[in-house]
Every structure is written in C-alpha cells, then in structure tokens.
Amino acid sequence: MTGICNGRVVVITGAGRGLGREYALAFAAEGARVVVNDIGTSLDGEGTDASPAQQVVDEIHAAGGQAIANGEDVADWDGAGRLVAAGIDAFGQVDIVVNNAGIVRDRMFVSATVEEWDATMHVHLRGHFCVARHAVNHWRARHKAGEQVDGRIINTTSGAGLQGSIAQAAYSTAKGGIAALTLVQAVELGRYGITANALAPSARTRMTEQAFADKMAVTEGSFDVQHPANIAPVVVWLGSSESADVTGCIFELEGGRITIEDGWHLGATTDAGKRWKPDDVGEAVHKLIAEQRPARPVWGT
C-alpha cells in the first residue's frame, strides 16, 4: 500500500472506534504503519476491552497494511511511554502522534462533581501531554543525533473548547486547554522539525450521537455530512511530509468543509492614559463591547 504517508509510522489514540478508527484505516490506506491504541472503555471512561483495537488492526491487515494493537492508558505516564516505544519497536521509529482518545461526563455546572471534573481533565489534558511528551523525547534525540526529523503532533480540541457548550463545563475546559497547548507546542517544537496542529471535528461518534442526536442523524440518499470518514483525509494530510510548513493551526472540520480558526485577536481597546476611577469603568467597558465583533454563541444556546 502506497500513498502520501508511505513508510511513515503513526500512533493513534482512541483508534478502536469512531473517528480514531477512520483515521487508522485512512493512514494505512496511504501507506502508513499504524499503532492502533485503544483501552476499550465505555463513553464515560469505565472498563476495558481489547477487541476494538484488534478489530481495526485485523481490517488493516486484511487490506494489506501494517498495524499493531496497543491497550495502554494514554493518561498514565509510563503507559504512554510504552505506547510510543511499541511503535518504535515494531516499526523502527514514530513519525506522527494523533491524540484522539477522550471521554465525556456531561453535566450542568451546578451539578458537576469534582470526580467527573478530574476524570475529564485526566484523559484529555494529561493524555494529550503524556503521549506527545514521549514522542517529543524520541524526535529530539533523533534531531540531536543529526537526523532530519519530520514529526507531527495532531491534537483533538472541539467546538466546545473553542466557544463553550452547555452542560459540558469540564469537557469544554479540557478541549480549550488542548487548543492552547497546540499553540505552545507549535512555537516551541519547530526547531526540532516537529509541527503541531489541532482538529475540532464535527462527525457522528458515540459522544455526539448522544449530545446532538438530530444533527448527527444519517442523511439518506445524499452526502452523509456527519460520517466520521469525512474527517480522515485532512488528518492524513497533516500527518504527511506535505504539511511540513503548516503548524499552530486549529482546523474545524465537518463533511467536506475545512475551516482554519481565526484565533484570539486584540479586540476593541481604550486607554485613559491614567488610573481609572471605578465609576468610569462601566461606561468604557460597555462602549468597547458595542465595538466588538460578536462572539460565536455557546453551543446549546
């Protein structure tokens, strides 16, 4: 199997189902060797099951590709190290990390628990950190040895992380943190030949089918806008050598639509040239708000 990722090695977390599965199949179809990582938990992060990852590996093998299954917990520091090492041991190196694994604990903020909050941060934020950090160790060592590195970090944020989502305070916070992490990684790691970008995909998955049932319904007789396979081509291209000049971008993807988010910009500003009096602040702030470009609304409003 040959394609734009021929010979490259990709580690994909949460690759046993949904978006991750489609990424794994698409990378393999383009010649990549794939580490299919999935611990096999329920949607809220409970239990384990090795079969989803192995089923994806079996599909790749049946199509003539190369892949191995891995069941490490991405949020465990040592486990994430073993995950990256598995790719190196099996295929000689790792070139791409796709951080896709996640859980959701939907709850209105007034009812949220600290246990739900911690679990969400653990999988999303710590999971993104641990796997990428071990991959960067690998790439940095190769760079120091004089090798030309062509590394890729592809993170997963969300529309919830970019604009907020009702009943998803923890999930939105974690996904917003991932977007910020991506910007920092892009700036810091470019010197080693590593790019970092993030995805905010809209597609039919276990998470979105529950939260947005009407939007995610299958469209009969026409282009299935919400099919998760629609997201994979952009992810594969970002993992290829062709994307070496693209870093620090947040891609919002849905169906056939590709949007690069505009990011934070300096908004309307006023300067009194002296210390403000409390009584004067309100008028100034309301004037600035009136001049601002309206923000995208929070999901669910």
Closest CA to 53 of 17, 19, 98: 17
For residue 212, pLDDT over 80 is answered with no
Measured CA to CA, the distance from residue 298 to residue 294 in angstroms comes to 12
Residue pair 200/159 in contact by the 8 Å Cβ criterion = yes
DSSP, collapsed to helix, strand or coil, labels residue 20 as helix
Give Cα 31 distance to the centre of its chain: 22
CA distances, 230 to each of 6, 11, 98, 136, 264 (Å) = 21, 20, 16, 29, 27
Q: How many CB atoms lie within 10 A of CB 165?
A: 21
Answer yes or no: 171 catalytic. Answer: yes
Answer yes or no: 243 catalytic. Answer: no
290, part of any domain: no
134, part of any domain: yes
pLDDT digits (tens, 9 = 90+) for 139-177: 999 999 999 999 999 999 999 999 999 999 999 999 999
Q: What is 262-293 written as a DSSP string?
A: -----------SSPPPHHHHHHHHHHHHHHSP
273, part of any domain: no
Burial of 206 (0-12, 13-18, 19+ CB in 10 A): exposed
1, part of any domain: no
62, part of any domain: yes
Measured CA to CA, the distance from residue 55 to residue 185 in angstroms comes to 33
Catalytic residue among 171, 172, 202, 243: 171
Query: CB under 8 Å to 70, separation ≥6 — which residues?
Result: 35, 36, 37, 38, 53, 83, 86
Stretch (H or E) spanning 201: strand 194-202
Please state which of the ranges 33-37, 45-49, 51-55, 215-219 shows the lowest mean pLDDT: 215-219
18, part of any domain: yes
Residue 27 pLDDT level (bands cut at 50, 70, 90): very high
For residue 211, pLDDT over 80 is answered with no
Residue 222 pLDDT level (bands cut at 50, 70, 90): confident
Helices (H), 47-126: 51-62, 77-91, 114-121
Per the structure, the count of domains in the chain is 1
Question: What is the residue-averaged pLDDT of the chain?
Answer: 93
pTM: 0.93
84, part of any domain: yes
Structure tokens at 238: 């970002």
203, part of any domain: yes
Owning domain of residue 181: 9-260
Q: Give the CATH number for residue 25.
A: 3.40.50.720
Burial of 40 (0-12, 13-18, 19+ CB in 10 A): middle
Catalytic residue among 158, 165, 172, 243: 158
Sign of torsion, CA 117 123 126 132? negative
Residue 5 pLDDT level (bands cut at 50, 70, 90): very high
Catalytic residue among 23, 165, 172, 175: 175
